[in-house]
């Protein structure tokens, strides 16, 4: 299960030390400004919205792994009843 954990922080991208080429986005992203981008930094995973690239969320690697495991397991899927 995903647990946010302590140590998550949002920082300006120029303070992360990540260069432009380090960012990756899904091949399913069809527009320039509606994508989540991911980059790997020392001991953390950085996430940002391509529409607001200056704002970066840094997650400890363990939190990122828990998030990905939860997505793959369907933890965040809404039930058919909830979709209405």
Residue-level pLDDT, tens digit, the chain, 84 residues: 333 444 545 444 455 567 666 889 888 888 777 888 999 887 899 999 888 888 899 999 999 999 999 999 999 888 756 666
Residue 83: strand, helix, or coil: helix
The helix (run of H) or strand (run of E) holding residue 74 is none
Give the global pTM: 0.65
């Amino acid at each position: 299960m995903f647990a946010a954990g302590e140590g998550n922080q949002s920082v300006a991208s120029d303070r992360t030390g990540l260069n432009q080429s380090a960012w990756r986005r899904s091949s399913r992203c069809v527009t320039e400004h509606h994508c989540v981008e991911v980059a790997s930094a020392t001991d953390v995973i950085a996430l940002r919205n391509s529409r607001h690239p200056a704002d970066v969320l840094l997650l400890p690697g363990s939190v990122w792994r828990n998030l990905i495991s939860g997505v793959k397991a369907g933890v965040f899927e809404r039930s058919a009843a909830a979709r209405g």
